[in-house]
Amino acid sequence: MHLGDYLRAAPLPHLTTLKALGVGLGLEAWCAEVLGTSWRLLFSGLMGWVVLLCQADALCRYQEYRRLRALLVRYGFRPRLITPMLGSRCQRDAALLAARKTGHLEAVRSFVQAHGYRAYHLIPESIRRNPRTLLSPAFWRATLLPRWPKARHR
C-alpha cells in the first residue's frame, strides 16, 4: 500500500479520525477531572469506534481508488465507470485521484461538475435524501463492504 495514495484517496475520513482523536483526548481529560472513570471509559470507547469506522471507510475508498485506476488504465474514461461513485464525497475524491493518476482528470472533473457536485457537497446523497438511512444496516454494508456489479459476459 502506498501511504500517499492511501491518504489522498480519502482525505475526509482521515481528517475525521484526527478530529475524533483530538476530541476524545480532550473529553477523556475533562471526564477524568469532573465526572470520573466510568464516563472517561465511555467517551474513550465511543471515540475509538468513530476512529475505527473512519479508518474502515478510508480503506474501502482506497480499494475503490485502486479498482477504478485499473479500470481507467484498461478502458480509458467512460462515464459509466464514474457514475456509481458520484453519490459520496469520499468516493468522488477516490475517483478524482484515480483520474489524476491515469491522465483523465479533466474529463472526470468535468463529468462530476456536470452532475452538479462541488467540493462543498460533503453529505452522501442517500443520507441527504433520507437521514434515517444512516441507521440502516444496508447503508453501512454498502459503505464498508462495497460490491461492484459483476462483469457481463458476451
Give the tens place of pLDDT for each residue, 25-42: 777 777 667 776 677 777
Residue whose C-alpha cell reads 484498461 in the numeric block: 74
151 within domain boundaries: no
What DSSP character marks residue 87? T
Which ranges of the chain would DSSP assign to H, the alpha helix?
3-9, 11-34, 37-75, 79-82, 89-102, 105-114, 125-129, 137-144
Domain carrying residue 12: 3-143
Query: What is the CB-side half-sphere exposure of residue 2 using CA atoms within 13 A?
Result: 7
Grid cell 477524568 is found at 32
Asked whether residue 44 is assigned to any structural domain, the reply reads: yes
- Counting the structural domains of the chain, the total is 1
Cell of 104: 483523465
Residue 154 in any domain: the answer is: no
pLDDT in tens, 108-141: 999 999 999 998 888 888 888 888 888 888 887 7
In a domain, 127, yes or no: yes
Q: By the 8 A CB rule, do 13 and 61 touch? A: yes
Residue at 148 is within a domain: no
Alpha carbons 133 and 42: distance in angstroms, whole number:
25
Rounded to whole angstroms, what are the CA distances from 67 to 9, 73, 108?
12, 10, 15
pLDDT (tens digit per residue) in 44-101:
778 888 889 899 999 999 999 999 999 999 999 999 999 988 988 999 999 999 999 9
Q: What is the pTM of this model?
A: 0.81
